[in-house]
Amino acid sequence: MFIDKTFHRRWHNARTSVFAAALAAATALGAAAPAHADPDTITAVMHSGLRVLDPIITTAHITRNHGYMIYDVLIAEDENFEPQPQMADWEVSDDNLVYTFTLRDGLKFHDGAPVTAEDAVASLKRWGERDSGGQLIFDVTESLEATDEKTITWKLKEPFPPFLETVAKQSAVPPFIMPKRVAETPSSEPIKEYIGSGPFVFVEEEYQPGVSVTYEKFADYVPREEEASWMAGGKVVNVERVKWVTMPDAQTAINALVAGEIDYIEQPQFDLLPILQGSPDVTVEVRDTLGYQTMGRMNFKHPPFDNVKIRQAALMAMSQEDVLGTLVGNPEYYSVCGAIFGCGTPLGDETGAETLTSGGDIEGAKALLEEAGYDGTPVVLMQPTDVTTLTAQPVVTAQALREAGFKVDMQPMDWQTLVTRRASMSPPAEGGWNLFFTNWMVPEISSPIVNPMLNGRGDEAWFGWPDDPKLEELRAEFIAADSVEAQKEVAKRLQAYTLENVIYVPLGQYVPPQARRNTITGMLPSPVPVFWNVDKTE
């Protein structure tokens, strides 16, 4: 598929104008004395503003990041993908049916109450209703109970080999531990109290939804003694406060970083990296070499994508190279990849992705759309306007779908509005949707157990809600596989089935760099940006 040259030229000219304006502004700011930020506060511009505060009811990364600031987890994944003790140590029975967790000493919630096993049990049960991997574990759970103040006993009806890896997962959705009274909130409703036991305290009175959020060091937090590694180990807080501020304009954020008005940008716009790389006071670096997969998700509940042939036509129209080239620009930071589990991972396979990775097939999409009897039902495509890593996908894809014969209704909104709206099961004409794009860290989608989009449980599935017993059957086969080779065989069938039925559309991988003032040191090279173990110097 070839994108229209006029479209590419307009896109390039717009990006070039932004770059030139930012360069001039940054140069002017660089000539002035930098602002003196509070030495005890890290001020960060994250990839999105924070509006949803419940990290169990959404997979939004900004809410997950918020979760890690104020909550902790029983066990956590280290940089070798190995589960490690965090709030608790554990033992496993010889028959692999009983997991016993023992809470470590010194655990307190931010309101001063001790963390108990009952808090953990209530939190795990609520998590298990929402998380894809958690649902699989609770399918085979006989009982989960607090056997004393510090002991959690989890009994299974049959072995679940990836049990520890699933409970220790770092994302989408981590099983954060909350007070029992909070965790007893129905999983279909957001929590209304934000008390954790993690290294930072949420300063609710300073919270401005979508604008800024402030965290203070939790003085009573007792870090583990082990060295920090991803989400595991000692979470040592070296600053008094961390403040996230929203700057949806990329140029404004970059100018502020160069001038010393802020300390950190999680995901600077790719086009503007040369400005930051030219500043002697700023370091641009890749925090996580695994990177992200960008993808499209359709709504299975409503026309037109309740028809598999129409989903197939849409996939056939899409081109990874067009999306990635427009989104990132520099091939140094992206790679075409048709694997639903990510390229470079043990389960990576690209079966069925031929049109995606070879430039798309508009003519084939047109023919398939006609064969499917498409009646012109508009595709309501939600377009986030304030997240730099999600701006190109809707624009490029909308053009491809229109060329293939779809009628597209692209509706702009900020990312947090999209995150809220994607939970609506209403028809598109009544506030629902047909298609949106998002990004996943590669570890989040690297197996059938953790990949949220491979949940086929209808209304209990991830947004889009495919009701697909075959998908569930294949995931069960993967869990039951008795060797690595057998797992790979099932994963390959899952790859083919997913793309044939367009469970979702993988659109390739990219590695976003972060940018920080040189006064910020000690940031962990983890997929999730965290602010423990970080120092700020004069």
**410: pLDDT strictly greater than 60:** yes
Query: In 299-422, at which residue ranges do the beta strands (DSSP E only) sit?
Result: 334-335, 379-384, 408-413
Report residue 469's pLDDT band, with 50, 70 and 90 as the boundaries: very high
| b/e map 440-476, b = 16+ CB within 10 Å | bbbbbbbbbbbbbbbbbbeeebbbbbbebeebbebbe
Contacts of 81 (CB under 8 A, 6+ apart): 165, 443
Average pLDDT of the residues in 485-498: 97
In angstroms, the CA 294 to CA 393 distance is 9
Does 153 fall in a domain? yes
**241: pLDDT strictly greater than 80:** yes
Report the pLDDT value the prediction gives residue 398, as an integer from 0 to 100: 98
Average pLDDT of the residues in 114-122: 98
Report the pLDDT value the prediction gives residue 27, as an integer from 0 to 100: 41
Beta-bridge partners for 410? 381
Q: Are residues 298 and 369 in the same domain?
A: yes
Question: In which element (H, E) is residue 44 found?
Answer: strand 41-45
Q: Are residues 505 and 517 in the same domain?
A: no
Last residue of a domain, one of 178, 198, 218: 198
Q: Are residues 453 and 518 in the same domain?
A: no
Residues spanned by the domain of 82: 61-198
At 388, give phi and psi (nearest 5°): -60, -30
Q: Residues 413-428: pLDDT tens digits?
A: 999 899 999 999 999 9
Q: What is the mean pLDDT of the chain?
A: 92
Last residue of a domain, one of 198, 231, 259: 198
In angstroms, the CA 207 to CA 212 distance is 6
Q: Residues 292-342: pLDDT tens digits?
A: 999 999 999 999 999 999 999 999 999 999 999 999 999 999 999 999 999
In the structure encoding, which two tokens stand for residue 137, read together?
């574990």
Domain count, the chain: 3
Contacts of 21 (CB under 8 A, 6+ apart): 251
- Largest CA-CA distance found in the chain, in angstroms, rounded: 68
CB 208: neighbour CB atoms within 10 A? 12
DSSP-based three-state secondary structure for 176 = coil
Does 109 fall in a domain? yes
The CA distances from residue 127 to 3, 107, 159, 514, in Å, are: 43, 20, 20, 30
Report residue 6's pLDDT band, with 50, 70 and 90 as the boundaries: very low
Report residue 287's pLDDT band, with 50, 70 and 90 as the boundaries: confident
Q: Whose CA is closest to 25, among 212, 248, 211, 249?
A: 249
Q: Whose CA is closest to 449, among 158, 125, 135, 144?
A: 135
Q: Residues 42-99: pLDDT tens digits?
A: 999 999 999 999 999 999 999 999 999 999 999 999 998 899 999 999 999 999 999 9
Q: Are residues 364 and 461 in the same domain?
A: yes
Does 54 fall in a domain? no
Q: Are residues 443 and 340 in the same domain?
A: yes
Least confident of 176-180, 314-318, 344-348: 344-348
Last residue of a domain, one of 148, 176, 198: 198
**28: pLDDT strictly greater than 60:** no
Q: Are residues 44 and 188 in the same domain?
A: no
**31: pLDDT strictly greater than 50:** no
Does 56 fall in a domain? no
CATH label of the domain that carries residue 480: 3.10.105.10
Q: Whose CA is closest to 439, among 283, 231, 267?
A: 267
Contacts of 138 (CB under 8 A, 6+ apart): 125, 128, 129
In the structure encoding, which two tokens stand for residue 181, read together?
């009274």
Does 55 fall in a domain? no
CATH label of the domain that carries residue 6: 3.40.190.10
Q: Are residues 95 and 45 in the same domain?
A: no
DSSP 8-state symbol, 179: -
Question: In which element (H, E) is residue 310 found?
Answer: helix 308-317
DSSP class per residue in 272-307: GHHHHHT-TTEEEEES-TT-EEEEEEE-SSSTTTTS
**438: pLDDT strictly greater than 60:** yes
Q: Are 404 and 271 in contact (CB under 8 A)?
A: no
Q: Are residues 347 and 372 in the same domain?
A: yes
Report residue 37's pLDDT band, with 50, 70 and 90 as the boundaries: low
**481: pLDDT strictly greater than 80:** yes
Cα atoms in the Cβ-side hemisphere of radius 13 Å centred on 442: 24
Report the pLDDT value the prediction gives residue 248, as an integer from 0 to 100: 83
**1: pLDDT strictly greater than 80:** no
Report residue 344's pLDDT band, with 50, 70 and 90 as the boundaries: confident
Q: Are 458 and 465 in contact (CB under 8 A)?
A: yes
Cα atoms in the Cβ-side hemisphere of radius 13 Å centred on 79: 11
Q: Are residues 98 and 224 in the same domain?
A: no
In angstroms, the CA 238 to CA 41 distance is 10
**15: pLDDT strictly greater than 90:** no
Report the pLDDT value the prediction gives residue 17, as an integer from 0 to 100: 44
Report the pLDDT value the prediction gives residue 272, as an integer from 0 to 100: 92
DSSP-based three-state secondary structure for 461 = coil
Report residue 30's pLDDT band, with 50, 70 and 90 as the boundaries: very low
Q: Whose CA is closest to 236, among 458, 530, 538?
A: 530
304: preceding bond cis by omega (within 30 degrees) = yes
In the structure encoding, which two tokens stand for residue 220, read together?
């009573």
Q: Are residues 492 and 530 in the same domain?
A: no
Report the pLDDT value the prediction gives residue 39, as an integer from 0 to 100: 81
Share of the chain above pLDDT 70, in %: 93
Report residue 3's pLDDT band, with 50, 70 and 90 as the boundaries: very low
Average pLDDT of the residues in 444-460: 94
Q: Are residues 211 and 277 in the same domain?
A: yes
Q: Are residues 39 and 179 in the same domain?
A: no
Give 493-507 as a 3 state SS string: HHHHHHHHHCCCEEE
Q: Whose CA is closest to 460, among 221, 169, 141, 130?
A: 130
Average pLDDT of the residues in 25-37: 42
Average pLDDT of the residues in 261-267: 96
In angstroms, the CA 68 to CA 199 distance is 9
Contacts of 117 (CB under 8 A, 6+ apart): 101, 103, 146, 147, 148, 149, 150, 151, 152
Does 459 fall in a domain? yes
CATH label of the domain that carries residue 100: 3.90.76.10
Query: Structure pTM?
Result: 0.86
**32: pLDDT strictly greater than 50:** no
Report the pLDDT value the prediction gives residue 400, as an integer from 0 to 100: 98
**25: pLDDT strictly greater than 60:** no
**29: pLDDT strictly greater than 80:** no
